[in-house]
Amino acid sequence: MASTTRTCEYRRVVVTGVGVVSALGIGKEPFFTNLLVGRSGVRRIERFDTTDFPVKIAAEIRNFDPLDYIDKKMAKRMDRYALYGVTAAILALEDSGFPVSEDPYAVGALIGSGVGGLDTFLEQTGVLLEKGPTRVSPFFIPMMIPNMASACASIILGLQGPVNATCTACAAGTNALGDAFALVRRGDAVAMLAGGAEAAVNEVGMAAFAALRALSTRNDEPERASRPFDADRDGFVMGEGSGVLVLEELEHAVARGAHIYAEMVGYGMTGDASHLTEPVETGVPAGLAMQRALCDAGIEPDEVDYINAHGTSTPLGDAMETRAIKYALGPRAAQVMVSSNKSMFGHCLGAAGGLEAAATVLTLETGKVPPTINLEHPDPECDLDYVPNVAREAEVRVAISNSFGFGGHNAAIVFRRWDG
């Protein structure tokens, strides 16, 4: 069995499947099409009554029925974030065609989440307060904990290789991809389903992030509220969903004739060691994560063509990331295209890295760079090429995807265009 054999040589890792659940659509095609046309998925919240809430907008998932993908009995035992994560994993595996049944121990799952089962936590806390402790569901804990997107994907798809999860706030999806990349590269798995999942658009999630003063209050202009790198940005817009990639050993992918979107070549991370929520303003720790990812890939700064930015639309975060890019790339930063998908599907917390990695590999394959929408008023502190408002066709050979999380988690991954 391939899964039980390890060598001392690093294996090359490629992306052979893409699965997406987002406010811009279910599946890679509507997702990427809407990104390229600059369509915003931000609307007034429909999931609950926002009358007493200071923030009334989010990038919610609409027209999603988990029973289109998951057995009813199993779906009832999963939180919404896990439903998104497992659906994205199912779509990614279908897209890849990876033959799990040939060796279930050769493939695993690593799907991160920053918050986990917040819907379940809210619902069952209500049960506790209204009906008492004996009425709390026995599935409360297994539905709430943030490893269950990976675990349920493993159960439903029969994945018996490495199954793990990351919980590093808004860096969780990127850390999951980086850790899965390392597993395949060193031979602990032939393939991994990796990415992130989140569903925090509910009463407690919106109230908590609003209390942090992290969210945009542009309630009257939902589609214009998320405006990364713009001088008038006033906070991020909450999003939700999941992005999962199939990372596969190159030789195995080639042997079975798999479609290859891109090659994953590097991973780097650092910690700010500074503050619970605010980044280090100099951008040095985040820039060092990018440098480490490039070093891991054996790629020089002058080879980078595009950065899928963390780009949250917060005053501190976007200015910091601009400085981080300059620190990481030096003079090359002025020539590199940078854009933020969050301008369209909001900040999906632990799912952000998975969704943005999906967009990045599709950019590498197509040579089409999604824009940063709502970038109307240049900020002197944010002076790079953010691909404002209109998508761009360009030769993109090397791309970085960044994620930075509360607590000072910085993660960057590097992809290279696949030319056969």
Task: Give the catalytic positions in this structure.
Answer: 170, 310, 347
d(CA 340, CA 348): 12
d(CA 348, CA 344): 11
d(CA 218, CA 223): 9
Which residues are CB-contacts of 14 (< 8 A; sequence separation ≥ 6)?
247, 248, 249, 250, 253, 258, 260, 261, 262, 263, 264, 418
Asked if residues 228 and 346 have their Cβ atoms less than 8 Å apart, the reply is no
d(CA 29, CA 42): 19
d(CA 362, CA 18): 9
Pairing relation of β-strands 368-369 and 392-393?
antiparallel
Look at the alpha carbons of 349, 25, 204, 314 in this order and tell me if their dihedral is positive or negative: positive
Asked if residues 398 and 280 have their Cβ atoms less than 8 Å apart, the reply is no
d(CA 328, CA 332): 9
Nearest to 242 by CA among 311, 149, 316, 137: 149
Q: Under DSSP, is residue 29 helix (H, G, I), strand (E, B) or coil?
A: helix
* Strand (E) or helix (H) holding 184: helix 172-185
Q: Which two tokens stand for residue 308?
A: 């899928």
Which residues are CB-contacts of 294 (< 8 A; sequence separation ≥ 6)?
266, 268, 300, 301, 304, 328, 400, 414
Amino acid (one-letter) located at 293: A
Pairing relation of β-strands 107-112 and 191-198?
parallel
